[in-house]
């Protein structure tokens, strides 16, 4: 393992989050592990979630589902980003459930001649994936050659609890369920809730909740829903890196490409051995690292492999020391939410963009 940087994933925290979300919803739970489990590690997180009581696994890509099967995981898996031309046959053979958002993909799946388990995706207002104008035609289609296991949709504004669009989407989803019932199709698994809806809208729970960001102990929206801590969630990832170099510099020294910032005082600067090639946002402002009970802000631009922080004139930091880039913030550290805000983005992007050069290690209590 590299000693330059690492992402430490607390699988016990993930298990606790899964148990809480499932108990609070009172429904079956799909652990969403797409995008390498939001950067936390696909197979390791999937196993931890299943051990904690998750009933399903959700992925975007068929390749992700195959990786889970190849790891020996036998739990139900749904893959929902399955474009035309995908190897539907291999997925069906591996007992992977497939999302169907269009007549074209339905035709390709039927053409395999294999018994496929499908989940119909209906667009209820996000105007992204799912049936919309083709829905009436789908209701006239021959669905006898597939097993319609589920129907699902996705909220666009579940983190904005009072928005009317949430109720509008819920009504449209209920109408789609009624439309299918009218032609004799009653999918046993109806699912609409993402993390935000799981936490705030019991009306939308149906048979299954899909939990992504909350399972990793991160808030779906810090402004509208509050912090991870206030939601009772435990952040699972600690990202840390070594100080490559510590140096004393004079006031008014230019730092980094473009000399975009100058030191405001005589101070110690630390060079952190991570950069935007590892997933550190180049545009991050007002973020930094934590060392010896103190925050040290970024100064200057983030480079490809490194960035500079102002450790302060009284710092005792030495080259080779680890600094925490983010974790749960319990001792005053920066959090993934802090880094998201500092980058004009969200915590989802912060964890998922951590690159493959950063090894993951796992711990359990």
User: Looking at the annotation, which residues are catalytic?
Assistant: 34, 257
Q: How far apart, in Å, are the Cα atoms of 101 and each of 131, 152, 175?
A: 5, 10, 17
**Which two three-digit tokens encode residue 301?**
């631009």
What are the φ/ψ torsions at residue 161 (nearest 5 degrees)? -60, -35
Measure the CA–CA gap between 306 and 278, rounded to whole angstroms: 9
Question: E strands, the chain, where?
Answer: 5-10, 28-32, 56-59, 77-79, 97-100, 116-121, 146-152, 189-191, 208-211, 237-249, 254-255, 261-262, 267-272, 288-291, 294-297, 307-312, 322-326, 360-363
**Structure-token pair, residue 49:** 């979630």
3-state secondary structure of 317: coil
Answer yes or no: are the C-beta atoms of 214 and 220 closer than 8 Å: yes
Structure tokens belonging to residue 199 = 């936490």
Contact between 119 and 187 (Cβ < 8 Å): yes
Closest CA to 283 of 252, 264, 258, 253: 258
């Amino acid at each position: 393992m590299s000693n330059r940087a690492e992402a430490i994933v607390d699988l016990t925290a993930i298990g606790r989050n899964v148990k809480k979300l499932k108990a609070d919803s009172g429904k079956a739970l799909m652990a969403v592990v797409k995008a390498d489990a939001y950067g936390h590690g696909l197979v390791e997180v999937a196993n931890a979630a299943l051990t904690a009581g998750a009933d399903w696994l959700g992925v975007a890509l068929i390749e992700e589902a195959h990786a889970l099967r190849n790891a020996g995981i036998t739990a139900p898996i749904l893959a929902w980003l399955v474009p035309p031309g995908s190897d539907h046959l291999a997925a069906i053979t591996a007992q992977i459930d497939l999302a169907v958002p269009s007549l074209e993909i339905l035709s390709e799946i039927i053409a395999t001649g294999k018994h496929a388990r499908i989940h119909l995706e209906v667009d209820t207002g996000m105007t992204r994936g799912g049936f919309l104008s083709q829905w009436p035609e789908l209701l006239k289609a021959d669905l006898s050659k597939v097993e319609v296991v589920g129907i699902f949709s996705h909220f666009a504004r579940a983190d904005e609890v009072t928005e009317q669009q949430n109720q509008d989407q819920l009504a449209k989803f209920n109408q789609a369920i009624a439309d299918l019932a009218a032609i004799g199709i009653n999918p046993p698994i109806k699912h609409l809730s993402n993390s935000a809806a799981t936490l705030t809208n019991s009306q939308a729970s149906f048979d299954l909740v899909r939990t992504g960001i909350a399972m990793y102990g991160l808030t779906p929206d810090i402004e509208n829903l509050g912090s991870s801590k206030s939601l009772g969630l435990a952040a699972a990832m600690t990202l840390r890196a070594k100080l490559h170099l510590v140096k004393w510099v004079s006031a008014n020294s230019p730092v980094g490409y473009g000399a975009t910032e100058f030191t405001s005082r005589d101070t110690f600067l630390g060079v952190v051995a991570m950069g935007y090639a590892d997933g550190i946002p180049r545009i991050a402002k007002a973020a930094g690292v934590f060392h010896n009970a103190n925050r040290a802000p970024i100064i200057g631009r983030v480079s490809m492999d490194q960035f500079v922080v102002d450790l302060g004139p009284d710092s005792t930091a030495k080259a080779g020391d680890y600094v925490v880039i983010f974790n749960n913030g319990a001792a005053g550290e920066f959090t993934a939410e802090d880094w998201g805000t500092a980058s004009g983005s969200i915590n989802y992007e912060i964890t998922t963009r951590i690159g493959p050069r950063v090894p993951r290690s796992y711990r359990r209590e």
